[in-house]
Amino acid sequence: MLGLRFTGCFVFVLASLVSCTPILGPRPQSSLTVLTWNVQNLFDDVADGGEYAEFVPSQSWGQADFLSRCQKIADVLRTLPSPGADLVALQEVENEHVVQVLRDRFFTGLGYRWSALTPGEGIRSVLLSRYPLTNVGAFAPSWKGQPGRPLLEAQVTTPAGPVVILVNHWKSRLPDPEETEPERQECAQILNQRLLFWQQHSPQPLILAVGDFNTGKDEYPALSWRVAQNPGADRTQRWLSVWTDEASAQKAGWGWREVWQTSQPGTYFWRGQWAHFDHVLIASSSLRSGVFAQAEAGPFTTPAQLTSQGVPHAWSVRDRKGISDHLPVYLKLALAR
């Protein structure tokens, strides 16, 4: 049994922003920019029982700390080349209150009038959008008899046509990668099933999968991620077929293509080594259907995000410095429609 659960629609729209004029630069309607970022345990300053112990309001964590973290995240988003990201997928956000503070106080003028948040407690995923969101749902894997972190799915109505985006935050590799691998395999199978579902639509939308997968193509024994150059790869397996070059992806017409046009060794520095856990994937079938003409992607960094050693400057409760232990990843598409 897959353990697939449809957990409903959790989109909310801030009507008061409809009349506001976004402060955006000129942009061609035939382009789309997406940014995904694990912002590392972004909790607010309100005790509601779902936060980690170090984020219970106290002398070591309070309103000033929460707002400072929000400001640092906003500073990074505002340094993106104009006109910035049309879609922003954040992982490890606590709740609706955090989303509201980010959107209404720190992301003002960026045009994010629509947002969707996964259900649950603790760390969740959110999608912020300049365009209307429809058909929003969450799909949770089963982990030791309990629902795991849901995948967030939304259809985005863009000027260039419909886009389906799946926001991922797969199970952490702690305490042991092999022990936690089954849930990541479940997430991979859910992603494969959602891909198959949307491929049956006509006309087929542009299909994207982004987020923190906590696994990568070079990981062992991460069977949930496989660079498969064989177009006949078994679609029922609990891993993703990921092609790193356009020709193989087009030939297969199945699975995903990862665009990674950078020398950056990874997005996360884990146990003394770079890891490529954060991804932006395009459905291989979208290549075949010709819904976009060109894609470029890679980590987006500013000096404030890195330590003097050039690795992500993780947020620290002890010294209140840093931003996140992950680097954001962007995807810029030139749409053919």
Three-state SS annotation for 105-117: HHCCCCCCCEEEE
What CA dihedral angle connects 302, 261, 263 and 110, to 10 degrees? 10
- Angstrom distance (rounded) from CA 214 to CA 144: 18
Who has greater pLDDT, 210 or 335? 210
pTM for the model: 0.88
Query: For residue 3, what pLDDT band results from cuts at 50, 70 and 90?
Result: very low
Burial per residue of 212-224, b for 16 or more beta-carbon CB atoms within 10 angstroms, e otherwise: bbbbbbebeebbb
Dump pLDDT digits (tens) for 134-181: 999 999 998 778 888 999 999 999 987 899 999 999 999 888 888 888
Identify residue 24 by its one-letter amino acid code: L
Query: For residue 30, what pLDDT band results from cuts at 50, 70 and 90?
Result: confident
Please give the CATH number for the structural domain made up of 5-18+26-335.
3.60.10.10
Q: How many CB atoms lie within 10 A of CB 54?
A: 12
Dump pLDDT digits (tens) for 184-198: 989 999 999 999 999
